[in-house]
Structure 1
Amino acid sequence: MNAPLEIEQFKFIVTTFDLERIEEYCSNFNYRNLDEIKSLREKLDLADIVSPQEVPADVVTMHSTVTFFERAADAEYQYTLVYPGVVNPAGTISVFTPVGSALLGMSKGQTLNWRMPGRRELCLRVLDVTNQPEAAGMYYR
């Protein structure tokens, strides 16, 4: 199966806790057939899975705030990555959206070309990761 991304010699890092929660959502009837879920699962298959205590502070984990550049829009954005159903207009983005799926597990400075549903490509570069829960010692949320 072809992964929906191009890897530039880097790995994605996902915590065991985030993986478990995402898998719970992925198995939910309301979400399991979404194209975005298929892409996210392929990405998770490529990820290095680490304990929350081992994740570097510059990795995008769930509930991290990430500043990134999106090439097609030639714009910089800042969002907090959340689970579905938590999204609100105050600067959050679901991990089940194409952008949210792409950001999960990326590190500061990494660039990713991510094929979205409909074959459109998204090119993101992570500029900064702030408010990462694990860096603040919040390992179970």
Structure 2
Amino acid sequence: MDAVNLGERTLTELDFGRLSQLREVQTSFQFSTLLDRADVVEPLLAPCDVVTMYAQVDLEDVATGRRHRFVLCYPGQTEPREGYISVLSPVGMALIGLRVGAVAQWHSPSGQPCKARVMAVSRIAQFSA
């Protein structure tokens, strides 16, 4: 299992609909569980501190205190050097739907457990492909 934080999640109806279409691509139990357990809300009712698609997320590594900044995007739009990471990556699945203050947990590609606290969330303009 890559992303291990399946706690309380909030998804907008738009994000939920688009992510549900990705079930054909991402067939993992954990991705399905994430979608099945999410609290789905209208976009205008989503709290501003929730990680949504195309949100810029500031993280602080729990172990080292190092800060990282990512923008959550869909597969095919990733630009790791620019900080755009796929929602289907382990860190992407660990972040989607979390709120500021929550701790995301996942495993790195080498299998190392990772933990980072969501420090800030801001909305950006949608990625243009």
Q: How many residues are treated as equivalent by the alignment?
A: 123
TM-score (norm 1): 0.74
- Separation (CA, whole Å) in 2 of partners of 1:6 and 1:40: 9
Residue in 2 aligned with 1:32?
26
Q: Percent identity?
A: 31
CA positional deviation for 1:32: 3.3
Measure how far apart 1:49 and its partner are.
Answer: 0.8
Instruction: Answer yes or no: is 1:5 the counterpart of 2:5.
Output: yes
1:90 pairs, out of 82, 85, 105, with: 82
Aligned residue for 1:5, secondary structure, equals coil
Deviations 1:59-106 (A, max 9, x none): 000000000122355421101100000111311110000001111001
Question: TM-score under structure 2 normalisation?
Answer: 0.80
Equivalent residue for 1:76, pick from 44, 67, 82: 67
Structure 2 unaligned blocks of 5 or more: none
Matched, 1:48 2:39: yes
**Tell me, which stretches of 5 or more residues in structure 1 are unaligned?**
none
